[in-house]
Amino acid sequence: MADLFPDAEQSFKSKLKAAVQRLATSNIFIGTSSWKYSGWLGTIYDQQRYCYRGKFAETRFERDCLVEYSEVFKTVCVDAAYYQFPSAKYLNGLVEKLIATAKHQGKKAFIYVNNRLEGNALETISAMVEGA
């Protein structure tokens, strides 16, 4: 079996990103059940990216960590439907961030929604993905 982490000198994030990319070439897509996990600061997330005036800003992390997450993982579960299914506005905001990141990186956006969508959210997401 191939070594998923061949270069010991790389950071954990770099090694994980490379492993995820290698698996994607075989149509194996890895993601997590959420992305807002501050326990990954220093491994997946660069804490300095979320500092404001020398202090960690939780609101900045909550707002922006999906972009950094998508630099490593290309899939994520929107684990938000337990109490109430996310609104079209919420889903559209996630899609816009991911598409903007993908365009900036010169890549395609892949968005998979595994649940029912209320209103016209599915049509909006489909149109945004096709336009990416």
Residue 69's alpha-carbon distances to 33, 88, 121, in angstroms, are 12, 22, 23
pLDDT digits (tens, 9 = 90+) for 56-84: 999 999 989 988 998 888 787 776 666 77
Higher pLDDT, 50 or 81: 50
Query: Mean pLDDT throughout 44-52?
Result: 94
Task: Count the domains in the chain.
Answer: 2
Is the pTM for the entire model greater than 0.85? no
Task: Clarify whether residues 82 and 127 are in a common domain.
Answer: yes
Residues 129, 93, single domain; the answer is yes
Domain contains 24: no
Report if residue 98 sits inside a domain. yes
